[in-house]
Amino acid sequence: MFVVVIPGAGRALDAAGSRVVLAVGTSLTAIGLAIFAFGFGSTWVAIGAMVVAGTGFGALLGAPTRYIVTNRAGSKQRSAAVGLLSVCLILGQILGGSLAGGVVVRRPAQSTATILPISGSRASRSSRGSSLWDFTQRRANARRHARR
């Protein structure tokens, strides 16, 4: 979604201005992430939430931020400002992904792996548990018992 939205966000930026595009992008991102975090009970709802959040991210991280940076920075600072923006975006992606991965590994019982059922898998049809985490734990236990 991110890549698909960026050209439209650029056109909306010219038509409505940066504040409107940033406000819509922020709202869509917040709504999509809130649905993903609190309101889903199925894989399809989670995918829909990520489409909404991805649309918001496309509006936020594409043309609007670069437009604001290039128009607000003076001509002598423009290249440094765009470079700093790029570095901050990349650092945010690296740190955000690392922190999220750390939460999932450290607290798997409270991660989204326990919430998202795998449709059509043995885990989703089982009465013992319907999550990916439960499924992988049962599989690991079965492998340990098979080695004995």
DSSP helix/strand/coil, 66: helix
Contacts 24+ apart (CB under 8 A), 14-18: 18/64, 18/67, 18/68
Q: Is the pLDDT of residue 111 over 60?
A: no
pLDDT bucket at 106, cuts 50 / 70 / 90: low
Q: What count of other Cβ atoms lies within 10 Å of the Cβ of residue 101? A: 11
Radius of gyration of the chain from Cα atoms? 21
Residue 52 exposed, middle or buried by CB count within 10 Å (0-12, 13-18, 19+): buried
Position 8, amino acid: G
DSSP letter assigned to residue 119: T
Confidence at 5, pLDDT banded by 50, 70, 90 = confident
Residue 118 pLDDT more than 80? no
**Domain boundaries along the sequence of the chain:** 2-108, 117-148
pLDDT at 125: 45
- The pLDDT of residue 114 is 47
Give percent above pLDDT 90 in the chain: 16
Tens digit of pLDDT for each residue in 83-101? 998 898 889 888 888 887 7
Confidence of residue 141 (pLDDT cuts 50, 70, 90): confident
Quick one: pLDDT band at residue 13, thresholds 50, 70, 90?
Answer: confident
pLDDT (0 to 100) of residue 27: 95
